[in-house]
Structure 1
Amino acid sequence: MLSDVADLLACPLCRGDLTLQERALRCPAGHSFDVARQGYAALQAGAAATGTADTAAMVAARAAFLDAGHYAPLAAALAGLAFGTVLDAGAGTGHHLAAALGGGAADRGLALDLSKYAMRRAARAHPRIGAVVADLWRGLPVRDAAVDTVYDVFAPRNAPEFRRVLRPGGRLLVATPTEAHLAELVRPLGMLSVDGRKAERLAETFAGTFRLESADLVTMPLRLTAEEAATLVGMTPSAHHVPEEELRERVAALGPRIDATAQVRVAVYLPER
């Protein structure tokens, strides 16, 4: 709920502290942001690039696939590393954040995402999650040194802002697909492949801001029905590139049961001193 995380929030227009007053977040300068009836607030400075946000169909597909437990080992790996107040940057449905709050050392969570459809779901994913629509490429609507853990799971990486919002002793957890991720499905289903330079580009992104503390691979064998495989594609950016009818035909050609392997690198980064 937003009442649990309001003390973490900053006005996207003037950076003043926000407080929750009835059905709105307000700062001392008089800027006000309504809380939607679904429980989330939109904190954006000016027009955002909403064309890059997940659609309602993508969010529904993600909810269906994750709630079925296919990526449970990833959620557990992240939860085992999270502590204190957790900010999930690019939280989607709030699935991974809810897992962190359901057990372990995480106390409360703030979900940020550009998609209002995602934040509608995140707002009810767990009682201790507050959900906010925000553009990760801009200044995050979060106070300085406000959180203990930052999640970045398959999401944009704004290193300077992540560093700003982390408290001393905090950590950044970054989950990225490896080249082996869903490799069995990439060509037959027309999915986007993983950039072979991803690890190198990550190092460039965090150079001078964060240092790599550790990294582990989470490998998840998948045995999917045709419907589950179509749902998996539908929750990814590949959904923009493969028409639904064509996707159904491609999935059907693979047979009633489809084997694949999801592989994700979970890295722990600590702020540079």
Structure 2
Amino acid sequence: MLKKIDKAAQYLAKNTPSLRCPICHASVKLDDYALICEAGHTYNLNKKGSINFLTIKPDTTHYTRAMFEPRRQLIQAGMYAPVLAEIQNRLTSGNLLDVGSGEGSFLNLLSVSGSKFGFDIARDGINMASEYTELEAFFSLADLTNLPFSDQAMGTVLNIFTPSNYREFKRVLADDGQVIKVIPDRYYLQELRTAFGMAVDYDNQEVIHKFAENFPDYTQKEVKYTFELPPQLRDAFLSMSPLEWQVSASEKARIAQNPPQVATIHVQILQGKKS
């Protein structure tokens, strides 16, 4: 079996034209285990097969393995299967970019005719993505406001529960490309919010309005269902979201004595075409 760094190098060899230098925006070439631009800026592959394109420190404090691991368990158990099925039906030919890809599970479960790319600012997430040894994709640490991807390199930009930068999205999209954005709606994870003593009052209208400004002919679909939490994953449910950051360890331990048994998934899927 190939080492992760060798597998990544092979993948990059086929996909170098899809990347650019985030410092000077020049094209890059693969030289052994590094991407080097025309100005000499160098980005080395690490042993896990990813590259750090960031000019700032990656997040090693908030989005950590302690949160990504339970999230991965729930994704693998099928908690988001209906959402992913809707996304899969909307994918077109061309490369797929997963924005804020976390630990890579969503990208792992989607099929596309082109190549797959994922990036995040969370080091643990990108490191965990490399654990999907059968996944053909390239992951990197990168900045949402200055993507290390070439103009018109992507067929689809996928934006699940993460911030957006529509200027950069449009730049990297092919002329016939699209953005698929998934946002939480009012009842998303309402059982978790209730258990933590938080109001179930999420309002996504401002996010939808911003999307509509950038993609006036967008389509929108509501997806709402409940997922029965297996007993062995009910504790994981309590740890899968940044919501837990607002809850003390003692309060979380108390809730774990009688955790939620179901999870409501309530989202809006927005699809906008660049053209």
TM tier, smaller: 0.7 to 0.9
- 1:80 is paired with a residue whose SS is helix
Is 1:188 the counterpart of 2:195? The answer is yes
**Structure 1 stretch displaced more, 216-225 or 58-67:** 216-225
Alignment CA distance shift 1:128-1:234 (3 Å): same
* CA contact 1:222–1:260 (8 Å) conserved in 2: yes
1:247-266 matches, within 5 Å, as 247-254=252-259, 258-266=261-269
Show the counterpart of 2:238: 233
2:270 counterpart (252, 267, 272): 267
1:137-156 matches, within 5 Å, as 138-156=145-163
**Structure 1 stretch displaced more, 151-160 or 186-195:** 186-195
Deviation at 1:30, TM superposition (A): 0.6
- 1:161 is paired with a residue whose SS is helix
Aligned residues: 263
Deviation at 1:175, TM superposition (A): 0.5
- 1:92 is paired with a residue whose SS is coil
User: How far apart, in 2, do the equivalents of 1:230 and 1:192 lie?
Assistant: 21
Deviation at 1:64, TM superposition (A): 1.4
User: How far apart, in 2, do the equivalents of 1:31 and 1:154 lie?
Assistant: 32
Show the counterpart of 1:94: 104
- Cα deviations by residue, 1:141-176 (Å, 9 ceiling, x for unpaired): 111111000000000111111111100111100001
Is 1:204 the counterpart of 2:210? The answer is yes
Show the counterpart of 2:63: 54
User: How far apart, in 1, do the equivalents of 2:199 and 2:48 lie?
Assistant: 33
* CA contact 2:58–2:141 (8 Å) conserved in 1: no
Alignment CA distance shift 1:205-1:213 (3 Å): closer
Deviation at 1:5, TM superposition (A): 3.3
Show the counterpart of 2:39: 29
- Cα deviations by residue, 1:213-267 (Å, 9 ceiling, x for unpaired): 211122231122455233123221113222344223113234xx61231111111
User: How far apart, in 1, do the equivalents of 2:130 and 2:252 lie?
Assistant: 31
Unaligned runs of 5+ in 2: 1-7
* CA contact 1:226–1:251 (8 Å) conserved in 2: no
Question: 2:97 is matched by which residue type in structure 1?
Answer: L
1:172 counterpart (165, 179, 192): 179
Show the counterpart of 2:17: 7
Alignment CA distance shift 1:145-1:221 (3 Å): same
User: How far apart, in 2, do the equivalents of 1:205 and 1:160 lie?
Assistant: 12
Unaligned runs of 5+ in 1: none
* CA contact 2:186–2:201 (8 Å) conserved in 1: yes
Deviation at 1:107, TM superposition (A): 2.2
1:109 counterpart (101, 116, 123): 116
- Cα deviations by residue, 1:27-81 (Å, 9 ceiling, x for unpaired): 111111111111111111x214626751121121221111122111112211221
2:136 counterpart (111, 128, 131): 128
User: How far apart, in 1, do the equivalents of 2:70 and 2:146 lie?
Assistant: 29
2:218 counterpart (213, 217, 239): 213
Alignment CA distance shift 1:179-1:164 (3 Å): same
Alignment CA distance shift 1:251-1:190 (3 Å): farther
Question: 2:68 is matched by which residue type in structure 1?
Answer: V
Alignment CA distance shift 1:202-1:53 (3 Å): farther
* CA contact 1:78–1:96 (8 Å) conserved in 2: no
Q: When you count strand as a share of all residues, which structure comes out higher?
A: 1
- 1:107 is paired with a residue whose SS is coil
TM-score normalised by structure 1 residue count: 0.87
CA RMSD of aligned residues (A): 2.2
- 2:71 is paired with a residue whose SS is helix
Aligned residues with identical type, % of pairs: 25
Alignment CA distance shift 1:205-1:82 (3 Å): closer
Question: 1:183 is matched by which residue type in structure 2?
Answer: Q
Question: 1:35 is matched by which residue type in structure 2?
Answer: L
